[in-house]
């Protein structure tokens, strides 16, 4: 018979077959949407995962391992400035004598613990420019206990007392900003305003990350950190940093007992290993990366299932058409390529739409990223290749089924 007549005679049985990508439109539209959504979610997941890896790679500028952090509050009615200094000195002496303790220090705040205080200062020679800075009050040995490197000058010393000239230690970032190419040691700052108390800088330390892991500490308007001797600027809320050769949590009871031996009415709270505070800083990023990764993998699986289901459906509808094509000389490889090409055409449309959607969402993503661009070519390339590979695999099984059709059996059944 005439092959054209035979093809036309297929009626509805062949109307949804593999002859054209426009049929059936609803199912194909769903597959395209699934692929596009998978692309958007996978790009977001990939960017968040790489951002999280970048956060983990950040050097905080201090050593949190083997350090126990505790917080105490001295009652105002019983501790004036002299009583605060005496209590701090005695507490440090007792804690340093504990077994397995290698060092200890007091501070008004510890890194990533959420306790911060800010004020204003003026740098000599820049009297018209008031700078907001973060205030840190520390005891001698604070930098050694936290592993913060001293790069110039000296540390806070036991001789820095209330009756000696005020001194401070600043960070490298502050030195580069206000005294580029020069030495900050010996320079002076004034607290509050140009007429405020004068403080001499006696040391410079490596810049630690005290509030978060992502801020640009070298930015032109970054707010610097300044360390003062606790003995010169007392504080009723104190944090204890204890470095030990044993797991930090094993010291909790003995440090509490040391505080209670001096004053049983002083509460000890916010007890945690400092490494836990460092881990918690990246907890939100870790959760977001894991959640987005799970959702995107689910979207990729749904897209793959959709591609497979659609092509299997088209092959089942077009079995008679495939049989006729093969009877007219179309070999199995050609039929298989045809089915795969139909599936990959839908995928290509979905990929283009998905990449456009990912680029459109770059402003939203940029606020959640660290150290990577929302249009990172490597991430976009890897995601595209992953989706195409999954789609090719999903298309191959229905294509293999189509290529295995026996024309004689199908046509005899007609």
Q: Round to whole Å and give the CA distance between 171 and 143.
A: 12
Phi first, then psi: give them for residue 329, nearest 5 degrees. Answer: 120, -5
- The reported pLDDT for the residue numbered 373 is 86
pTM check: above 0.85:
no
- The reported pLDDT for the residue numbered 18 is 46
- Asked if 172 and 136 count as a contact pair (C-beta separation under 8 A), the reply is no
Q: What is the pLDDT of residues 32-54, one digit of tens each?
A: 888 888 888 888 888 888 888 88
**Quick one: tokens of 98?**
């504990």
Alpha carbon of residue 196 to chain centroid: 40
Cα maximum dimension of the chain: 114
- The reported pLDDT for the residue numbered 128 is 77
Angle between helices 377-403 and 332-360 (to 10 degrees): 150
- The reported pLDDT for the residue numbered 3 is 66
Q: What is the pLDDT of residues 330-383, one digit of tens each?
A: 666 777 777 778 778 888 898 999 899 888 888 888 877 878 888 889 989 988
- The reported pLDDT for the residue numbered 21 is 41
Q: Give mean pLDDT in consecutive 10-residue pieces for the chain, a chain of 414 residues.
A: 59 45 68 86 85 81 92 90 91 92 94 89 84 94 94 92 93 90 87 88 93 81 92 90 91 92 91 90 75 80 78 65 66 72 84 90 79 87 88 77 62 57
- The reported pLDDT for the residue numbered 228 is 96
């Amino acid at each position: 018979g005439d092959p054209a007549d035979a093809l036309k005679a297929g009626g509805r049985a062949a109307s949804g077959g593999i002859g054209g990508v426009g049929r059936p439109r609803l199912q194909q539209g769903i597959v395209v949407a699934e692929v596009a959504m998978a692309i958007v979610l996978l790009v977001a997941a990939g960017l968040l995962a790489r951002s999280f890896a970048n956060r983990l790679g950040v050097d905080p500028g201090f050593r949190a391992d083997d350090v126990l952090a505790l917080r105490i509050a001295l009652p105002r009615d019983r501790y004036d400035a002299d009583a605060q200094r005496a209590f701090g000195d005695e507490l440090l002496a007792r804690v340093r004598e504990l077994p397995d303790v290698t060092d200890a220090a007091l501070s008004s705040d510890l890194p990533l613990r959420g306790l911060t205080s800010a004020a204003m200062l003026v740098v000599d020679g820049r009297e018209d420019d008031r700078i907001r800075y973060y205030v840190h009050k520390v005891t001698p040995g604070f930098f050694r206990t936290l592993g913060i490197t001293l790069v110039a000058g000296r540390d806070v010393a036991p001789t820095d007392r209330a009756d000696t000239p005020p001194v401070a230690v600043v960070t490298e970032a502050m030195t580069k900003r206000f005294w580029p190419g020069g030495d900050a040691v010996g320079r002076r700052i004034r607290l509050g305003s140009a007429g405020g108390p004068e403080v001499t800088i006696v040391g410079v330390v490596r810049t630690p990350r005290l509030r978060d892991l992502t801020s640009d500490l070298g930015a032109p308007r970054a707010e610097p950190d300044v360390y003062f001797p606790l003995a010169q600027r007392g504080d009723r809320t104190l944090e204890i940093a204890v470095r030990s050769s044993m797991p930090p949590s094993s010291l909790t009871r003995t440090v509490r007992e040391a505080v209670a031996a001096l004053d049983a009415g002083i509460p000890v709270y916010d007890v945690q290993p400092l490494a836990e505070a460092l881990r918690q800083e990246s907890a939100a990023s870790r959760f977001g990366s894991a959640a987005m990764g799970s959702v995107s993998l689910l979207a990729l699986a749904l897209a793959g299932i959709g591609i497979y289901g659609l092509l299997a459906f088209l092959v089942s509808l077009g079995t008679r058409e495939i049989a006729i094509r093969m009877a007219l000389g179309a070999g199995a490889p050609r039929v298989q390529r045809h089915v795969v090409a139909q599936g990959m055409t839908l995928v290509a449309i979905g990929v283009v739409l998905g990449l456009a959607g990912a680029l459109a969402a770059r402003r939203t993503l940029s606020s959640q990223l660290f150290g990577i661009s929302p249009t990172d070519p490597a991430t976009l390339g890897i995601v595209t290749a992953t989706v195409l590979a999954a789609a090719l695999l999903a298309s191959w099984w229905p294509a293999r089924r189509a290529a295995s059709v026996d024309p004689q059996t199908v046509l005899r059944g007609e």
